[in-house]
Every structure is written in C-alpha cells, then in structure tokens.
Structure 1
Amino acid sequence: MISPDNRTNITLEPEWLAHRYQPDGDKIHFVRVPRAIHQSVTFISDEYLPGNLERAIYDRQDIAAPLGSDNPVHFILHSGFCCSTLLARAFDLDNIAMGLKEPVILQDAAGYYFAATDKQKAGEVVRNLLALLARPFNPSETTIIKPSCIVNGLAEPFMRMLPESRSVIIHAPLPVFLGSIARKQITGRLWAREQFAELRKMDLIDLGFDDDQHFRQTDLQIAAAGWLAQQAIFQNLVQRFGADRVKTIDSEMLLANPNEAITAMSDLYQLNLDAEQIRQIVDGPAFTSHSKHGTEFDRKGRDEERTSGESPHADEIAKVAFWAEKVAEAVGIDMKLKAPLI
C-alpha cells in the first residue's frame, strides 16, 4: 500500500477516490483513480479497477471534507438494467460534467446507515463520504453520481443534504426489467435475489408478504418485488421533492427519444449544453456501444438481444408482470412514475 504525502492531498486531489468505508475504526479507504481509468471501466469497483493503483487508509475525522461547495452535485437514480450506465457515460464531459459510476463507498454507507442505532452519527458519516465523492476533476465541472440501486434508500437523505441537487430517475418498464433478468439466466436471477435480500435487510421492502411467503415466490417474482420496492422509493422522492428537483424516465422512452432526453437532463442539471454538444453525445459511444462490454451496440442490437433472450421466458414474464400489477394496486405503488423528464 502506498500512502500519499499528507492528508491535504487526499482532501484536495479528486484522483484520490473515496473507495470504501470501514465502520470498524471509522476509516476511509482511498484509491488513486485517474480520469482516464474512470472513463475506461464499467464501474469504479475492485472488480473493474486495475489492481496496481495506489491506495491509502485514513481516519475519517482526519480527512472529513465539508459538504456544500460551489460545485454542483446531481444524481442518476435507477432500479437496474435500465440504461443508467449509458447516462453516466453520456455525461462524462471534460470541463462540463463528470459521471461517477456506482462508487462502492455509497453501498458501504447504505449498509452502515440502515444498521446503525445512532442515526445522527450515521448521517454525519454519510455527509462526509458524499462530500468526498463530490470533488470535481475540474472546478468548472458538475459532479453527477450514479449510485448502485442498493443505495436508493439513501436518496432522500442525499437530496436533503444537498438542497441544490437534482435527480433523474430511470427505470425499465417491469416486463422489460423481468426480461433482462430472465435472459441473463442464473446470473440475473441471483442478482435479483441478492438485491432483494439487501433491500429487505434495510427494511425497504413492504409489499404485505412475510418472509415465508417471499421464500415461496419464484425468482422472477422476487425480481418484481425488488422492482416494486424501488418504485415505492422513487414515488416518495417525487412526492417529497417535486418535479423541479426530480424527473423520471423509463429506458424505452430514453432510447426512442435520446435528443429530447439528453436536452431535458442538461436543463435539469443546468449544464447549458447546446444542440451540437447534445448531438455529439447521442452520436457518441454512450449510445452506440455496449455499456458493459464496450462493443458496438445500437438500438437494433439491443432489440435483437432482447428478443432472442426473452422469447423462451415470455409466458413467465407475462404472468409475473400481471401479478406485480395487482400487488402494486393493493399497496399503492405507481407502475408509471410521475414527473416525466420528457
């Protein structure tokens, strides 16, 4: 492990990514991630980051950064498999904006916050970690954070801590989401159960079922239950903060209307992008290459992948989607979110 010369470097240099939070000892783990690496990796997690990057560990109280600077901070919130990574890549714009793709430290923060008995201290920790992520690579840039969907339970505190922040919520329509889970086979089904388990642990799933009833549900029912829990979180955010700060869009609307969506996001985030800059984003790699693999991938490729992968599961997807609609109706969850982006 290589440590920086002093704590000031850690606080001032945005290359030192606040990477993990260690509640035992109240320590923050940093890793030095140049912007070029941010741009090249799918997510800023150890699974994707090079193993030879410089690292350092400091006591949180020794390097705590103030929250609330002149640098704007906004969010891309999502429920998984819905083009959120595409959007984070789209807003990686030198001297304008920088998208942070699923910083792991926010997952640590969520786990710590929801397990903590002292919510005041836990809130202070979250504020410090968020402030460290908010540091821009360039003073003129807006920081746009795309947390993991496991972190959505902290979205309301984030918005309260940063009263000038705005959020775009993107989700896939439920049948599309279920199709994504199904065509990924065991990997997708395990992901859905793991996400559900984490949300359940944070007490963020309340659909009227007890643990025994959830245990008896199929993989796609569990995936749908997790999707509904996320919809409930998003619905609350729209109600609490209003359409001036929170806008929603689904993946199909984004892909069908990329120019309008990016223009509306630019307006919401107050980036002042002109028509040529928006054209470059829509014609650029975010929309023309696979967010996870980097290979060429357009709307036609997405549709072909979806059709071939989902056809064997069409009956199951339709039945689970119908079941989920009835559950949503019973507990008051909107299947279609308000405050549309476009």
Structure 2
Amino acid sequence: MSAVIDDAAWLAHRYDPDHDAFHFRRVARTVRAATPFLTDQHLGDEASPLVLRRSDCAAAAPDQRAPVHFLFHSAYCASTMLAHALDQPGVATTLSEPVLLNDMIGWRRRGADPRMHGRVMDDALAMLGRGFADGEAVVVKPSNIFNPLARGALTLRPQARAILLYAPLRAFLLSVARKGLWCRLWCRELLENYLADGFVRLAFEPRDYFRQSDLQVAAVGWLAQQQAFAALLGWAPERIASLDSETLTRDPAAAVAAAMNHLRLACDRAAIAGHPALARNSKSGAAFAPGERQRDLAAAETAYGEEISQVVGWAEAVAAQAGIPLTLPKALPTG
C-alpha cells in the first residue's frame, strides 16, 4: 500500500462511490508532460486499474503534505500550455484535468451527501497532491466542469494559491466559432451541467436558453464562470490572481514566471524560456509558431465577426445588468 501511495507515478484516476474506493493507474511523468489531458481518451483505457479502499489510502498518506495549488480556467485560454510549463522537476509537478475531480462533480450532481462528499474530496486532493520529489509542489488544473467546486477545494486547502485563467469574451467566442459544430454542442452541454449545479445566477428563465443561438449559449457559460471567478477573487484576494489568455500568449515566458511567483514556486527564467511546452501546440504536440493563436483568431474574425459582434454586445448588456466584470481584477503582474 505505502509503495503505491509514495509513488506519484500511481495516478489517482477515478473514485467509485459504491465501494468507497480510488482507482489508480500508472502514468509516468514523461507521459503526463506529453498528454494534454489525463483522461482515458488521451491515456488509453486501463483494463486493470489498481483499486484501493479510500480509508486505506488515507491511512497510508504521508503526514507531511506537498503544497497543492490550482489553475482554474474557463476554456480556450491556453490553460494546458500554462499547466505543462509549470511542470518543472524538483519545483512542481502538474496534473492537467484529472478525471478524479470530474468524478467529484458528477457524484455531487447525483446527490452525494455533502458531509461525505467533503471527506472524500479531502482525500481525493491528498491522493492528487503527491509530488515526484521531496519538496515538489503539485499544481492541479481541473477541467472547467469542476469550477462549481473551486471554492470548496480552496477551503479544504487553506494554504493553496490559485490562478484564474480566462479568455476575453470576444476571443472566447471566436475560438468557439472556429472550432465548429462539436464545440458549439460542447458549450450547450457545459451550460446544461452548470444549470444542474446551480452555478448560473443570471436573470434568465429556463425556456430562454431554447431561444438563444449557439454563441449566446456559449456566452452565458462564459458569463457564469466570469461571475464565479470575480466572487472567488473577492473571497480570497490574497491567495488568488487572474490572468487572461492574450497576456499569456503574448509573452508566455513572462506570464509563466509571474504565475510561478504567485504560486511561490522557485522561478528559473532560463528553464522557463527553454521549456518545451512554450514551443508546441498543447493539444496536437506540433511545433507552435509565435503568433499562431492571434492568426487563428483573426481568421475567425473574418469569417464570424459580424455574428460575434452582435453576441458580444448582447453579453456585455447582460454582464452590466448582473455586475459581472468583463476583465477580472487582481491580474498577475507580467511586466
């Protein structure tokens, strides 16, 4: 048991509430660095996971926990690139969208007892928060479906710091438009889940969403996340900072250095500048040319600009009525 818990290569991958057990699979650090998301789609199916009772895992966990920090994001904002760039041996290891946290939100949605859910979440974070080396911090980048539980996770880890990464509204909508039908459908699914979580606090009736276009639905999801992020910043301003995707991609090395300073990680600017994550597409692994994101957005602007301008104007009016800032405060100092 302790050999598994002491070895960070054994990734805590799933939680089974029926048996109160964690499922582990071996994922080497090099595999994590080359994989956009720690999901079965990208890692491959694991036919024989190692199944351990949660109580046994908790008993075997070390008394001295590694520092755990969070990178919460609202999608299409270069979060995977930032997460991978923060992975530096001896300093920090990162987890990009571990399925275990998706299980936490899904179980809660199915009616988990809140007290039991809190205990399991604490143990889940302990299992994820295992570094590869002594003194190595762990930075967790959950999927954005986990955002309704962001405050709970930060409450369970009062020493944790967090970065809230987001794309500006227009850039977000341009990304959705250029990615096509599957992305528009994903935005509808995300909003459906956020509504089930009680995460959307805007002045819409349920029937209103049926009357909205795909990009309006995408904008509502963005507004819900922006509203929650602003509330998080107001709740714990000393622990949380914001960063927007255009600042990140304009000068990635400077943004990564600022992120490491905020997370209180030892910052080696030479190591950052030479990090492979800054030179490749985080999804495909292909070489990433400087300015590629900006050129993609400009092409989308040409194709969809008129429709997006209409949706942005509508969303800005909704934001003004709800008091949602389009630009988050407490921005990381990257200059």
TMscore range, shorter length:
over 0.9
**Structure 1 residues 189 and 67: CA distance shift in structure 2, 3 A:** farther
Aligned to 1:138: 133
2:303 match: secondary structure? helix
Aligned to 1:27: 21
**Structure 1 residues 218 and 122: CA distance shift in structure 2, 3 A:** same
Shift of 1:274: 3.0
Q: Does structure 1 residue 275 correspond to structure 2 residue 232?
A: no
Q: Does structure 1 residue 314 correspond to structure 2 residue 314?
A: no
Q: Distance in 2 between the 1:16 and 1:178 partners?
A: 38
* Match 2:295 to one of 279, 297, 304: 304
Shift of 1:279: 2.6
Shift of 1:88: 0.6
Q: Is the Cα–Cα contact under 8 Å of residues 14 and 135 in structure 1 kept in the other structure?
A: yes
Aligned to 1:249: 243
Pairs within 5 Å for 1:143-154 = 143-154=138-149
Q: Does structure 1 residue 194 correspond to structure 2 residue 185?
A: no
Aligned to 1:160: 155
Q: Does structure 1 residue 37 correspond to structure 2 residue 28?
A: no
1:101-127: CA deviations, max 9, x gaps?
000110110122344352111111111
Aligned to 2:93: 98
Shift of 1:241: 0.5
1:163-199: CA deviations, max 9, x gaps?
1111011100000000100001111101111111111
Q: Distance in 1 between the 2:230 and 2:332 partners?
A: 14
Could you tell me which runs of 5 or more consecutive residues in structure 2 were left unpaired when the two chains were aligned: none
Q: Does structure 1 residue 172 correspond to structure 2 residue 167?
A: yes
Aligned to 2:234: 239
Q: Does structure 1 residue 329 correspond to structure 2 residue 320?
A: yes
Pairs within 5 Å for 1:204-215 = 204-215=199-210
**Structure 1 residues 246 and 68: CA distance shift in structure 2, 3 A:** farther
Q: Is the Cα–Cα contact under 8 Å of residues 178 and 224 in structure 1 kept in the other structure?
A: yes
Q: Does structure 1 residue 14 correspond to structure 2 residue 5?
A: no
1:145 match: secondary structure? strand
Q: Is the Cα–Cα contact under 8 Å of residues 25 and 46 in structure 2 kept in the other structure?
A: no
Shift of 1:221: 0.6
Count of aligned pairs between the two proteins:
332
1:230-274: CA deviations, max 9, x gaps?
1111111100111x2101010011122333322221211111213
2:191 match: secondary structure? helix
Moved more, 61-70 or 300-309: 61-70
Aligned to 2:213: 218
Q: Does structure 1 residue 182 correspond to structure 2 residue 180?
A: no
**Structure 1 residues 67 and 222: CA distance shift in structure 2, 3 A:** farther
Q: Distance in 2 between the 1:67 and 1:241 partners?
A: 28
1:195-251: CA deviations, max 9, x gaps?
111111111012111211111111111100000111111111100111x21010100
Shift of 1:309: 3.3
- Length-normalised TM-score, structure 1: 0.92
Moved more, 249-258 or 96-105: 249-258
Q: Distance in 2 between the 1:68 and 1:105 partners?
A: 22
Moved more, 7-16 or 104-113: 7-16
User: Displaced runs of 4+ in structure 1, greater than 6 A?
Assistant: none
Moved more, 217-226 or 8-17: 8-17
Give the alignment's Cα RMSD to 1 decimal. Answer: 1.7
Q: Distance in 1 between the 2:7 and 2:165 partners?
A: 31
Moved more, 23-32 or 156-165: 23-32
**Structure 1 residues 147 and 52: CA distance shift in structure 2, 3 A:** closer
- Length-normalised TM-score, structure 2: 0.94
**Given residue 82 of structure 1, which amino acid in structure 2 is its aligned partner?**
C
**Given residue 173 of structure 1, which amino acid in structure 2 is its aligned partner?**
P
Moved more, 22-31 or 48-57: 48-57
Q: Distance in 1 between the 2:268 and 2:177 partners?
A: 39
